[in-house]
Amino acid sequence: MPDRQLVDTPFVPATRTSRQAILDRVRAATAGFEPAPVRRDYRQAGAHPQPDPETLLEVLIDRLVDYKAEVTQCAITDVHTAVTAFLSAEEAVRVVVPDGFPDEWLAGSTDSESGLVRLDDTGPLTVDELDAADGVVTTCAVAVAETGTIVLDAGAGQGRRALTLLPDLHVVVVTADQVVARVPDALGRLDPRRPLTWISGPSATSDIELNRVEGVHGPRRLRVVVAESG
């Protein structure tokens, strides 16, 4: 027996036999199997023609609206107005603000200026506190125009995954430089070692007679601010 007896080591099973047997079997099973080489003649990252920036945003917004997200477009200097408008329209007061979310994107840097009760996650917030929050505001990592997808990578201004899951309202700011044309363009910008959440519209189900219903467990309201510089 190894001398390290770690009581709190997660269960590591005694399936070495199966491990070796499975590996032996799959190797024997595919001996001599030489499939055709992979040809990537689909549109890859950066494929031409690339849509111009205007079209890119237009397509993104069209897709987002199609999936029942509400969208506003504004200048980067006006983000705070758009964010505040979404929050107040939903009467959201207790709002989760992840670490790194720019102060200038809220209507003020203090609660009294912004009229919000900011919940920061340095505690960290408990699941019950998150569940009781009215909403969450975040940045994002990438947005994919063609599919209307916003990707979060738990980076600055986004926080850990639970923050954008439990509150019923998610307001997300996308800047124009974060928008890519298609899925292959997005993967190249993402780090697989970060936890990633791809969001395309609010939570939805079609399980009841195939009626699409917005909102089951994730945020039922997704609000997107698309910000352009200048």
Tokens of 187: 């993967």
Q: Which stretch binds other proteins (CB under 8 A): 89-97, 103-111, 133-141, 179-187?
A: 179-187
Our finding on whether 207 is near other proteins (CB under 8 A) is yes
205 binds other proteins (CB under 8 A): yes
Whose CA is closest to 135, among 117, 109, 160, 113?
Answer: 117
Within positions 17 to 36, which residues make up the interface with other proteins, using CB under 8 A?
A: 17-30, 33-36
Distance CA 158, CA 76 (A): 18
Angstrom distance (rounded) from CA 76 to CA 74: 6
Q: Does 196 bind other proteins (CB under 8 A)?
A: yes
- The yes or no reply on residue 5 touching other proteins (CB under 8 A) is no
Give yes or no for residue 197 binding other proteins (CB under 8 A): yes
Q: Quick check: 210 binds other proteins (CB under 8 A)?
A: yes
What is residue 121's DSSP assignment? T
Binding mask 91-130 for other proteins (x = CB under 8 A): ---------------------------------x--xx--
Tokens of 167: 């509150």
132 contributes a contact to other proteins by CB under 8 A: no
42-71 residues in contact with other proteins (CB under 8 A) are: 42-45, 63, 67
- Smallest gap from residue 81 Cβ to other proteins (A): 28
Question: Is residue 6 a contact residue for other proteins (CB under 8 A)?
Answer: no
Q: What is the CA radius of gyration of the chain?
A: 22
| From candidates 3, 6, 11, 91, binder to other proteins by CB under 8 A | 11
* Sole window of 50-58, 85-93, 108-116, 145-153 interacting with other proteins (rule: CB under 8 A): 145-153
Q: Which is nearer to other proteins, 122 or 229 (CB)?
A: 122
Nearer to other proteins, 98 or 114 (CB): 98
Handedness of CA 159, 136, 108, 94 (dihedral sign): negative
Q: What whole-number distance in Å separates Cα of residue 226 and Cα of residue 210? A: 31
28 burial level (CB within 10 Å; 0-12, 13-18, 19+): exposed
Residue type, 38: V
4 lies in the binding site for other proteins (CB under 8 A): no
Reading the block at residue 142, the tokens are: 């990438």
Establish if 16 lies at the interface with other proteins (CB under 8 A).
Answer: yes
**149 CB-near residues (< 8 Å, 6+ apart):** 63, 143, 183, 186, 198, 199, 200
189 binds other proteins (CB under 8 A): no
